[in-house]
Amino acid sequence: MIPLIGHRLGLMIAGGISTGLLGGALLFQYAGGLAPCSLCIWQRWPHLAVMILAVIGLRGIMPRLMLQLILISGVISAALGGYHAGIEWGFWAGPSGCTANLSLDGDISAMTQMLLETPLVRCDDVAWSFFGLSMAGWNALISLDIIAAALISLRRM
């Protein structure tokens, strides 16, 4: 019986998803003018890792290990996306250098310094959403497909 999703197809699916997500993020940044926050940048690294690992695995170099590493990268991507979406929805506070925690207590020079140190793109601000989900939320959901592709492929090996 031919497996529905073998390791090569799983590598292609995971690599394709990450390529699409990273390409979309870059398109929104450079063509759409939406500057990323620091958590947005962090969410890109697992996708770059998945792309590289998928290419290595497709070349026949330790495909099982590459799928295991892709699985870990997918979990990291989903966790970062979920964490970021939770910050945007106000479920929990974000990193101090990434959110708008401006206090107007104190003197003018302290407030000026605080304003200068506040990032221009905040992690708790939703720049774009589709069906009520921000890019971080979509990243978390779609990263689950990377996890599924890796898990199914690993079970079939």
Assign 92 to helix, strand or coil. coil
Q: Are 39 and 71 in contact (CB under 8 A)?
A: no
Q: For every one of its 157 residues, what pLDDT tens digit does the chain have, with 9 covering 90 and above?
A: 345 567 899 999 999 999 999 999 999 999 998 889 989 999 999 999 999 999 999 999 999 999 999 999 999 999 999 999 999 998 998 887 775 555 556 677 776 766 666 556 778 888 888 998 999 999 999 999 999 999 999 998 8
Can you say how many angstroms the Cα of residue 96 is from the centroid of all Cα atoms in its chain?
20
Place of tokens 């197809």: 9
Q: Please name each of the domains of the chain with its CATH number.
A: 7-92+108-134+146-156 (1.20.1550)
- Please give the pLDDT value at position 81: 97
- Please give the pLDDT value at position 1: 39
Burial degree of 16 (CB within 10 A; 0-12, 13-18, 19+): middle
Q: Are 98 and 92 in contact (CB under 8 A)?
A: no
Nearest Cα to Cα of residue 18 among 74, 58, 71: 74
Write down the pTM of the prediction: 0.82
Q: What is the CA radius of gyration of the chain?
A: 19
Residue type at 140?
A
